[in-house]
Amino acid sequence: MHTLNSHLILADYNQTYAMAVRGEGIYVYDETGRDYIDGSGCTAAVTHLGHGDTVIAEAVAEQARTLATHPTHLFHSPIVEQYFERLLEFAPEGFSRAWTISGGTEAVENAIKLAYQYHRAKGREGRKRVIGRWSSYHGNSILTLNVGGLLSRRSYYTDLMADQHIHVSPCLPYRRPAEQSIQEYEDGLVEEFARAVAEHPDEIAAFIAEPVVGSALGAGVPTQNYFPRIAEICRAHDIVIIADEVMTGFGRTGRNFGCEHFGTHADVMACAKGISGGYVPLGAILVKEHIAQTLRESGDPFFSGQTYSCIPLAAATGLAVLNRIEELGLVQNAAEVGAYLLDQLKTQLDLPVVGEVRGLGLFLGVEFVADRQTKAILPPEQMFFKRVQNACFEAGLTVMAARGTVNSRMGDHLLLAPPLIMDRADADELTNRLATGIRAAAATL
Ligand code: PLP
């Protein structure tokens, strides 16, 4: 374990960090040779192809040898065009334009800027509010923290944030009030959304949501009609719908994109993580034609453009990853092995401390409780999420555990987002290690 001599500005001064030196398949190895199943998919939901994929390594190296980047203010390049064509084929119908940058925060930030520009192009200067949801993470810049609803990350910087954005409740059926049916719960959320829109007529530019909420809720799957009903309100007011597919994209949930489970009501998709499987930093926005066309007709360029926007190295990597996802049938594999893993977890994690196991594809979560009957949360000062993350690590499994399942502040959960290459035997091994970790953590309470 190495911490105090590190040159890093450490993310957590109280944590000890093992040294990762190698990866192969679903495993990461530390310097002593110990293996860890990459149950979190690195940080997190990134490593769709697992570690050490030589096909991707070769594609990255080949493009680096040929042309890593070029003066993007003067050139465009064929590999970028080839990649975008492929990317848009992989996307749901209607997406016609793409743009790449370095990661998820930039993707979300650019998606919001694009929505704002879309309204400006239509002469709607007043459209500058974004509706986000509590218990959602959309990135670590000031704007993305602001529209996001992860209090643990945003509260430190609120003085730097514009105050026009709006937050509504997320949709997590397990946490609905005890007396409500699923239908009543969904009705209430739709009413809350409609009220937020009605309170700010002609001021809402965009609505942003993760189709399935990842790290902030532990694979929070909404009710089936929640997004279609919210989308109806957005359509009626021409509010741009941004699907944050940073975690849920590229097969993670068993469909190409997470929003495809819920009727694909997105005008812009923000993507990252699995888009490159972690082999290079990469993010993208994919845009529906009516948005792109409005911008074109306005004559304004898209005011984006950063050093690593639309560069050949990233495009070649993204293209190779997409080809590999399709060649190995990983979207289907995520659906099948994910369903198997969910079943196994439900059986093996029948423990007093486990409130719910949930998720879609290989995007699964476990929510912890003090009492399964009342769903009472564990006392926050016990920091159960930390205990469970550490105990799983000891058992040879990385998970992403967090607090904030309830009111963005309390309640413990963990997220599993392992490589999509895993098979049923890997799922069994992951289940064993997870059960060992959770049992060990529960024993410390
Ligand atoms: N959106 C979601 C849903 C995420 O989970 C994350 C990162 O975890 C981001 C955006 C930000 O992506 P990045 O860390 O690549 O900037």
Matching residue, tokens 């993707």 = 107
Q: Over the stretch 112-121, which tens digit does the pLDDT of each residue have?
A: 999 999 999 9
State the pLDDT confidence band at 4, using cuts at 50, 70 and 90: low
Full-model pTM: 0.97
Matching residue, tokens 């409609």 = 194
Q: Answer yes or no: is pLDDT of 230 > 60.
A: yes
Three-class DSSP category at 80: helix
Average pLDDT, stretch 174-200? Answer: 97
The region that residue 52 occupies, defined by phi over 0 for left and psi between -120 and 50 for alpha, beta otherwise, is: left
Please list, in sequence order, all residues whose beta carbon lies within 8 angstroms of the beta carbon of residue 436, skipping any fewer than 6 positions away.
391, 392, 395
Q: Over the stretch 237-273, which tens digit does the pLDDT of each residue have?
A: 999 999 999 999 999 999 999 999 999 889 999 999 9
Q: Over the stretch 126-157, which tens digit does the pLDDT of each residue have?
A: 999 999 999 999 999 999 999 999 988 888 99
> pLDDT at position 382, please?
96
Average pLDDT, stretch 331-349? Answer: 98
CA dist., res. 376 & res. 367, Å (int) = 11
Q: Over the stretch 282-295, which tens digit does the pLDDT of each residue have?
A: 999 999 999 999 99
Number of H helices, E strands in the chain: 12, 14
Average pLDDT, stretch 200-212? Answer: 97
Which residue among 46, 100, 138, 150 has the greatest number of ligand 1 atoms within 8 angstroms of its CB, and so is best to mutate?
Answer: 138
> pLDDT at position 409, please?
87
Please list, in sequence order, all residues whose beta carbon lies within 8 angstroms of the beta carbon of residue 243, skipping any fewer than 6 positions away.
209, 210, 211, 257, 258, 259, 266, 268, 269, 270
State the pLDDT confidence band at 1, using cuts at 50, 70 and 90: very low
Q: Answer yes or no: is pLDDT of 2 > 50.
A: no
Q: Does the CB atom of residue 133 touch ligand 1 within 6 A?
A: no
> pLDDT at position 14, please?
76
What kind and span of H or E run contains 59? helix 54-66
Task: Indicate which residue's Cα is closest to atom 12 of ligand 1.
Answer: 104
Q: Does the CB atom of residue 245 touch ligand 1 within 6 A?
A: no
Q: Does the CB atom of residue 246 touch ligand 1 within 6 A?
A: yes
Q: What average pLDDT does the structure give for the chain?
A: 95
Tokens of 170: 């997320």
> pLDDT at position 265, please?
86
Q: Answer yes or no: is pLDDT of 3 > 60.
A: no
Q: Over the stretch 412-429, which tens digit does the pLDDT of each residue have?
A: 999 999 999 999 999 999
Contact between residue 50 and residue 42 where contact means Cβ atoms under 8 Å apart: no
Q: Does the CB atom of residue 105 touch ligand 1 within 6 A?
A: yes
| Beta-strand pair 400-406/283-288 | unpaired
Contact between residue 331 and residue 354 where contact means Cβ atoms under 8 Å apart: no
Contact between residue 279 and residue 56 where contact means Cβ atoms under 8 Å apart: yes
State the pLDDT confidence band at 15, using cuts at 50, 70 and 90: confident
Report the separation in Å between the CA atom of 172 and the middle of ligand 1, taken as the mean of its atom positions.
20
Contact between residue 269 and residue 260 where contact means Cβ atoms under 8 Å apart: no
Q: Over the stretch 41-75, which tens digit does the pLDDT of each residue have?
A: 999 999 999 999 999 999 999 999 999 999 998 99
User: Of 323, 327, 313, 345, which Cα lies nearest the Cα of 429?
Assistant: 345
Q: Answer yes or no: is pLDDT of 203 > 80.
A: yes
Can you tell me which atom of ligand 1 is nearest the CA of 272?
15
Can you tell me which atom of ligand 1 is nearest the CA of 105?
16
Q: Answer yes or no: is pLDDT of 97 > 60.
A: yes
CA angle 236, 230, 266 (to 5 degrees): 85
Report the separation in Å between the CA atom of 276 and the middle of ligand 1, taken as the mean of its atom positions.
14
Average pLDDT, stretch 334-345? Answer: 98
